[in-house]
Amino acid sequence: MIDARKLSVARGGADDDVALLPAREFHFTADDFERVRKLIYQHAGISLAPVKKDMVYSRLARRLRANNYTTFAQYLTHLERNDEAEWETFINSLTTNLTSFFREAHHFEILTKHLQKIGTTHGKPIRIWCSAASTGEEPYTLAMTACEAFDTLTPPVSIVASDIDTNVLATASKGVYSAERVEKLATERLRRFFFKGKGSHAGFVRVRPELQKLLTFTRVNLLDAHWPNVPGPIDIMFCRNVMIYFDKPTQYQILKKFSPLLREDGLLFAGHSESFMHAVDLFRPLGRTVYERADRKH
């Protein structure tokens, strides 16, 4: 989600855990940090800024303890020997997932109109790809929007929800959230799309199984040459708050793979701070971080 991502430093915000750092347990040199930056860029496309050094130490120090290493050099050498499981944990450790239901709400108003427009002209199901699924709030929002657009819990929609972080995908697939995560949702949406926990599950809600049936969760690294888990053609792509963590050349290469996968009349949704003006040969803006293929004929 990367896939983000949603890549959360992939889709990151404030490094809350840095403020509580104790005196450093491990020596962490500038060379160690540069090795980390190189490795995460090579394997996930993430460009770590120099200001992320403390965050990197905080996250990876846990991996040194778990593997009984005394230096970062030992851990990184182990990583470079291609321990597949540790690579996955390394990437998971350096991704921050910030998300919420109906984030950037104007996108879902546009999505509703587009779904209703193509619902009678396209073959079924309408295919949606959420490429930075994080802990699931965004893809479940897509499912809720589809249900509302077609006024049914079984809309003609199929959603692939992917991320590079396997930990957040495991959370997303369960569809269980604390009450605080849904407190801003309208009462009608809560009633229609969630079950309220009781007894030992009080204080939690669970997404209705009808919504879960619309989603397929899968791991996708946006840097991979091919995405076999994402069947095309795709009608709608959500890749929000992910591209800002890639440099421009990496962004362009990902967008170059997006273009042929997206239907000619499909839509690509980006995050509020993202712009693809460096890829005008691939995508052109429709306004408010929504894009269409540059070769679309009107």
Is there a catalytic annotation at residue 59? yes
Backbone angles phi, psi at 156, to 5 degrees: -80, 60
Backbone φ/ψ region at 29: left (φ over 0), alpha (ψ -120 to 50), beta:
beta
Backbone φ/ψ region at 99: left (φ over 0), alpha (ψ -120 to 50), beta:
beta
- According to the model, what pLDDT value does residue 173 have? 95
Residue 18 has pLDDT above 70, yes or no: no
What CATH number does the domain located at 106-293 have? Answer: 3.40.50.150
Among 3, 5, 127, 163, which one carries the catalytic annotation? Answer: 163
Residues 70-92, mean pLDDT to the nearest whole number? 85
Q: What is the pLDDT of residues 36-49, one digit of tens each?
A: 999 988 887 777 88
Q: What is the pLDDT of residues 117-171, one digit of tens each?
A: 998 777 678 999 999 998 999 999 999 999 999 999 999 999 999 998 888 999 9
Among 11, 35, 59, 240, which one carries the catalytic annotation? Answer: 59
Distance from first CA to last CA of the chain, Å, rounded?
Answer: 31
Least confident of 23-37, 58-72, 83-97: 83-97
- What are the residue ranges spanned by the domains of the chain? 18-93, 106-293
- According to the model, what pLDDT value does residue 10 have? 40
Residues 6+ apart with CB under 8 A from 144: 189, 193, 211
Q: Specify the CATH architecture of the domain 18-93.
A: Orthogonal Bundle (1.10)
Q: Whole-number mean pLDDT of the chain?
A: 87
Is there a catalytic annotation at residue 235? no
Residue 191 has pLDDT above 90, yes or no: yes
